[in-house]
């Protein structure tokens, strides 16, 4: 510690140690605690949670499909337009080469 009342984490532990500590805290917070909570739930609670998760997954997939279908159609129509333009550019390029030869 440098001065009175000033806390410098790197004075106590190195950066690598702080990162390991943060990683351990995240592990406990997001992995261990949910497992403990899941262990104390009744089967009825677990079934309700699974049902809610299934509803959310279904809703997300449905909304994504609604969004993706028009995007896919636009992409296909743009691809067709680009192919037609490519053929036209190639044709014009051939005509220009023929004119340059004359």
Output the pLDDT for position 26.
82
| Range of lowest pLDDT (28-37, 57-66, 72-81, 86-95) | 28-37
Whether residue 2 is predicted with pLDDT greater than 50 in this model: the reply is: no
Q: Within this chain, do residues 50 and 70 fall inside the same structural domain, yes or no?
A: yes
Summarised one tens digit per residue, pLDDT across range 8-25 is: 555 666 777 777 878 888
What SS3 state is found at 43? helix
Q: How many CB atoms lie within 10 A of CB 10?
A: 9
Say how many residues make up the chain. Answer: 102
Q: How many CB atoms lie within 10 A of CB 22?
A: 10
Q: Within this chain, do residues 51 and 24 fall inside the same structural domain, yes or no?
A: no
Summarised one tens digit per residue, pLDDT across range 38-72 is: 888 889 988 998 899 899 899 988 888 888 788 77
Q: Within this chain, do residues 50 and 94 fall inside the same structural domain, yes or no?
A: yes
**Using alpha carbons only, what angle is made at residue 25 by residues 48 and 54, rounded to the nearest 5 degrees?**
20
Q: Within this chain, do residues 66 and 82 fall inside the same structural domain, yes or no?
A: yes
Containing structural domain, residue 93: 42-102
Domain count, the chain: 2
Q: Within this chain, do residues 62 and 35 fall inside the same structural domain, yes or no?
A: no
Q: Within this chain, do residues 28 and 62 fall inside the same structural domain, yes or no?
A: no
Provide the whole-model pTM: 0.43
Distances (CA, A) of 53 to 40, 59, 77, 94: 19, 10, 36, 59
Q: Are 41 and 49 in contact (CB under 8 A)?
A: yes
């Amino acid at each position: 510690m440098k001065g009175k009342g000033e806390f410098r984490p790197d004075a106590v532990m190195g950066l690598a140690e702080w990162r390991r500590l943060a990683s351990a805290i995240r592990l406990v917070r997001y992995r261990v605690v949910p497992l403990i909570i899941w262990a104390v739930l009744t089967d009825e609670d677990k079934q309700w949670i699974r049902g809610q998760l299934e509803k959310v997954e279904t809703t997300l997939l449905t909304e994504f499909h609604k969004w993706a279908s028009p995007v896919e159609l636009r992409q296909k129509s743009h691809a067709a337009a680009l192919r037609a333009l490519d053929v036209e550019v190639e044709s014009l390029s051939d005509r220009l080469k023929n004119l340059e030869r004359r």
